[in-house]
Amino acid sequence: MRTKYSRRNFVKTALSSLVSMYLAACEPLVKPTSTALPTSPVMPSATVTPSATVTPSATVMPSATVTPQPTNTSTPEPVDIPIYKNSFEGITDLAANGITSTNNDVRINTENVDYQSGSQSLEAFGTIAAPNYSTLTIEMSLKSLTGEETVDLSNKTVGFYCFIPVDSPIATINLVAKSGTKVVALATASGFAAGEWHYQQFDLKSIYDNKAWIWTDLSNDEARDVIRNCREITITGMRISEGDATQTSFLIDDIKWIGIDDLNHIALNDSVDSIRKYANLKHHKIGAVLFNRKDIHWFSDPWYLYTLAQEFNMTTVGGVGTPETKPADISAINFDYTLQDQVLTFAEGNGMFLRGGTGGDHTWQPLWLLDASYAELKAFLERKIEQDISHYGGKVYSWGVFNEPVNDAGNGFRNRQQKNLNAPNANSIPGSAPYSYSYSPFVDGNDISLIEAALIKARQMDPKTMLYINDFDNEEIGKQKSEFFYNFLIGMRDRGVPIDGGGFELHKMCPLQGDPAPDLDAYLDKVDRNLKRYAAAGLRVEFTEVECQIRFDDIDLATQAGKDELAGRVQKQADMYAGLMKLAVENPNVLSFTAWTVADKPHTSGFDAPWNHFTYTDSFLFDKNYNPKPAYYAVLNVLKQR
């Protein structure tokens, strides 16, 4: 069982001892002047205009006594570097690059490097002393990292990956800011499993604003000055219980920070190529989902928001939660739009299109709704659609009114007859229907009148917006579920139900799954023919949840053969994304292309489920460090050519 150490007094005591020992051990460090670490491009500081050339005057004879001039000891103006990344690749001499330690060795580790983190990590190793609060450290000169004497960290979010070996006495990883001999212990992380890489992220702006650092012996003003004028970042691994002196280590990798004062108004850089640039130039809607709800808070990651706004011109709003308890009057439910309004503000401030979700979904619903009567369900759907569409007042260009109504077999609907408390996956996905994944309260047998009523209500609320129904495994012509889904839409349209098209989720695996595994060109041809069939019928399509997860369960990454196979799959992933994007831009009835996630954040793939778990998320256009992948450049190339 893992123990999480979270009591504030304990942490203060621990870090007080840590910093005391740290200061005692520290001699003033002589910072090297050799070449700085290779980094991602750094936002430039303001341009300095050179002063005019000074013409030398005639030689002046020195006077007998020269009054010494005072030495300039003022603190340099803090430099704001909004965006910084460093994966410690391509360096061999750490000390020459300002990476040192006062009480242990620091070395490059090429054997233990997390997935998508290049070929090198940093390792602090040595003997950790027996007393509790003893540490190993990695100290990094910001001048060597950035070229600036001091860096303002007061508005930054700082993150890095860390690894603690199994059986190590190290229990916490701490972030410390230093300026000369002044030290502020900013934050600590604990409670994570040893023997695994973990991402730690610290909101230094909140720490700075609220004076919430863990420990310092400085006044509040002095502590803030250290954070604004930071010269050195130290990452420490600390033991929290007394024991024997032990040879041990910890590792870090991929340190980065971001500090954008207003993420709702990001200054876009159109001088460089981006998906957004070409999407705007060629009038395509290309986006990524932005979850911001009580259980998933992607909105809290500034890197996600920054990359989303820089690279995409569309995102999604919706997912307003249903009240957990049954209201006395279902037709008068009031929904809480606080979290979704943050998404709206972000999208509007950054000039992005919005897709929306409303109506019915068989997952993420409380029991009272799953067991509700027909009349109660109809009242709920009409109230929710009325509230959602009126709240956003024409700011959403299309609405998904129903989600995944067709069963997995593709021969019928999820319905009330599928209630099964003993279903294998009944309670294994948080928020899924507890009566089995095939259960839906909104369909009784084949009675889809509630779905039709929802579409009618949505059209009444907004006659101009596009209305569609979303599902998965419905994109290939000739496939059973695709045929059922298409005929379902056509049938409603022919009965006068307002339906404009269908959403194709496109959660795909690389290599493509199937028996036998389908060829990519053959697969894309079937999707293309299905799109053209929809166009001929006057129906539109949106690619709503695109991903292409690379499979890892059948290859061994420890072998060269496994690595070679992975490289091939990375290219196949790029080909898949490029092929789908090509179909989207060449078929005029495809209104949008939405990636399920911006980057490979852990546990975000549609395939990352308890019964289908992959060790690594590798599904999207940006890796876990928000660096573009081959799939990104493949998509960009399609947009530049079309």
Helix spans in 80-164 (H)? 142-146
Q: Which tens digits make up the pLDDT trace of 335-372?
A: 999 999 999 999 999 999 999 999 998 887 888 999 99
The pLDDT of 527-549, averaged and rounded, is 98
Provide the β-strand partners of residue 108: 122
Provide, rounded to the nearest whole percent, the portion of the chain with pLDDT above 70: 86
Given a cut of 80, whether residue 53 has pLDDT beyond it is no
Given a cut of 50, whether residue 302 has pLDDT beyond it is yes
The pLDDT of 26-36, averaged and rounded, is 33
* Other beta carbons within 10 Å of 439: 24
Per-residue confidence at 636, pLDDT binned at 50, 70, 90? Answer: very high
Given a cut of 50, whether residue 287 has pLDDT beyond it is yes
Per-residue confidence at 614, pLDDT binned at 50, 70, 90? Answer: confident
The pLDDT of 207-228, averaged and rounded, is 97
User: Residue 609: its pLDDT value, please?
Assistant: 67
The Cα–Cα gap between 403 and 414 comes to 11
Q: Which tens digits make up the pLDDT trace of 159-214?
A: 999 999 999 999 999 999 999 999 999 999 999 899 999 999 999 999 999 999 99
Q: Per mean pLDDT, which range of 28-42, 408-422, 514-528 is the poorest?
A: 28-42
Closest CA to 11 of 276, 135, 189: 189
To the nearest whole number, what is the mean pLDDT of the chain? Answer: 87
Per-residue confidence at 532, pLDDT binned at 50, 70, 90? Answer: very high
The pLDDT of 394-410, averaged and rounded, is 95
Q: Which tens digits make up the pLDDT trace of 415-433?
A: 999 988 776 554 444 444 5
Given a cut of 70, whether residue 225 has pLDDT beyond it is yes
The pLDDT of 470-474, averaged and rounded, is 97
The Cα–Cα gap between 475 and 579 comes to 14
The Cα–Cα gap between 34 and 102 comes to 20
The Cα–Cα gap between 122 and 100 comes to 11
* Boundaries of every domain in the chain: 8-40+79-258, 275-641
Provide, rounded to the nearest whole percent, the portion of the chain with pLDDT above 90: 75
More confident residue, 297 or 223: 223
Given a cut of 60, whether residue 5 has pLDDT beyond it is no
The Cα–Cα gap between 415 and 428 comes to 20
More confident residue, 70 or 383: 383
User: Residue 82: its pLDDT value, please?
Assistant: 95
Per-residue confidence at 118, pLDDT binned at 50, 70, 90? Answer: very high
User: Residue 79: its pLDDT value, please?
Assistant: 84
The pLDDT of 69-89, averaged and rounded, is 76
Per-residue confidence at 74, pLDDT binned at 50, 70, 90? Answer: low
Angle at 617 between CA 167 and CA 305, to 5 degrees: 110
The tokens describing 231, both together, are 């010269």
User: Residue 18: its pLDDT value, please?
Assistant: 44
User: Residue 300: its pLDDT value, please?
Assistant: 86
User: Residue 642: its pLDDT value, please?
Assistant: 79
User: Residue 362: its pLDDT value, please?
Assistant: 87
User: Residue 419: its pLDDT value, please?
Assistant: 87
Q: Which CATH architecture has domain 8-40+79-258?
A: Sandwich (2.60)
Given a cut of 50, whether residue 570 has pLDDT beyond it is yes
3-class secondary-structure state, position 173: strand
User: Residue with structure tokens 């399920």?
Assistant: 596
How far apart, in Å, are the Cα atoms of 192 and each of 117, 166, 390?
19, 11, 44
Give, for 302, the enclosing helix (H) or strand (E): helix 302-311
Sheet containing 232-239: which strands, arranged edge to edge?
99-100, 135-141, 232-239, 170-179, 182-190
Given a cut of 70, whether residue 611 has pLDDT beyond it is no
User: Residue with structure tokens 């299109």?
Assistant: 353
Q: Are 477 and 485 in contact (CB under 8 A)?
A: no
Please check whether the domain covering 275-641 is classified as CATH 1.10.10.10.
no
